[in-house]
């Protein structure tokens, strides 16, 4: 079991952070924590503007960090991460002495996972992680960086402000896309400094989140405010799991090599093998 968690922890983490709930449709905005709009000195437009102003442009990013997964057992590892904006995500798992034992590559239409310990790999359509929901690579990148987005439309910007409902209670600002999932809504919360604190997914009628990704250690960078710590909880294949991901300093807009090569003589695994590890 431990060896399987080592190799596939990155896939589980991605599934936890990007899993959701059905087909998209028009719906009334739902605030995940039961917040209500209160009178403030800033208008809704100004609150949204304050968040949009913190979202800088970028082309590539590189960083190192750590991941911790808690499922049937716990595992921690050092990682290296690289991204090419709207094209690819590369995560390398390096638990001991900086030696790569596995890697995960996500592109616009494909997902690759390479297990160097057991000489096996997965090559599938990226939809196995998104359940057919039209999440783009850019939006998955936003999840990893703590940037608000609208599914199918990209990172929140000036042209998308009309697609957002804004509420405020005390020092908490909530931005809720007006296009929700069937029976579910999702929203992003921010503190008074316009630092993201969570992505919440809630079933209609509930007053608390059904799924939540928490963000912290938000830093101002040359590419805008970026969360350097992520914590998420999810239920996958009827098993509760959580993970945390932390980054060190991020390098922006340099060369970011995305190695998609599969070594010769590796055995291909099917998508159904991904979660069968929990029965081992």
Span between the terminal Cα atoms of the chain, in Å: 6
* pLDDT value, residue 181: 61
Helix (H, G, I), strand (E, B) or coil at 150: strand
In whole angstroms, what is the distance from residue 254 CA to residue 233 CA? 32
pLDDT (0 to 100) of residue 172: 92
Tokens for 93, please give them: 């798992």
Q: What is the mean pLDDT of each run of 10 residues along the chain (280 residues)?
A: 40 47 40 44 80 94 90 79 94 86 86 84 75 75 92 89 89 88 79 92 62 91 95 69 88 90 84 51
Give the CA diameter of the chain: 64
Contact in structure between 258 and 84 (CB atoms under 8 Å): yes
Task: Specify whether domain 2-279 bears CATH 2.50.20.10.
Answer: yes
What pLDDT score does 235 carry?
Answer: 62
> What pLDDT is stored for residue 214 in this prediction?
93
Residue 206 confidence (pLDDT): 57
In the prediction, which pLDDT does 236 show? 57
pLDDT for residue 193: 92
How confident is the model at residue 29, as a pLDDT? 43
Where does 65-136 have alpha helices with state H?
127-130
Locus of tokens 């009334």: 28
């Amino acid at each position: 079991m431990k060896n399987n968690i080592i190799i596939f922890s990155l896939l589980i983490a991605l599934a936890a952070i990007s899993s959701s709930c059905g087909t998209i449709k028009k719906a009334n905005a739902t605030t995940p924590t039961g917040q209500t709009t209160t009178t403030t000195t800033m208008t809704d437009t100004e609150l949204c503007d304050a968040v949009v102003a913190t979202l800088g442009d970028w082309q590539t990013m590189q960083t190192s960090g750590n991941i911790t997964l808690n499922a049937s057992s716990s595992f921690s590892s050092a990682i290296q991460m690289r991204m090419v904006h709207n094209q690819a995500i590369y995560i390398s798992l390096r638990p001991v002495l900086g030696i790569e034992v596995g890697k995960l590559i996500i592109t616009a239409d494909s997902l690759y996972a390479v297990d160097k310990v057991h000489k096996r790999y997965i090559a599938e359509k990226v939809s196995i992680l998104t359940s057919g929901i039209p999440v783009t690579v850019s939006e998955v990148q936003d999840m990893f960086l703590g940037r608000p987005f609208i599914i199918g439309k990209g990172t929140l910007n000036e042209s998308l402000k009309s697609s957002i409902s804004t509420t405020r209670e005390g020092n908490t600002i909530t931005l809720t896309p007006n296009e929700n999932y069937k029976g579910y809504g999702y929203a992003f919360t921010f503190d008074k400094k316009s630092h993201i604190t969570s992505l919440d997914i809630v079933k209609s009628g509930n007053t608390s989140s059904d799924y939540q990704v928490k963000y912290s250690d938000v830093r101002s960078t040359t590419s805008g405010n970026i969360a350097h710590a992520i914590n998420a909880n999810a239920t996958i294949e009827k098993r509760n799991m959580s993970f945390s991901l932390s980054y060190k300093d991020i390098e922006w807009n340099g060369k970011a090599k995305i190695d998609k090569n599969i070594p010769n003589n590796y055995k291909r695994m099917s998508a159904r093998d991904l979660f069968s590890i929990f029965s081992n």
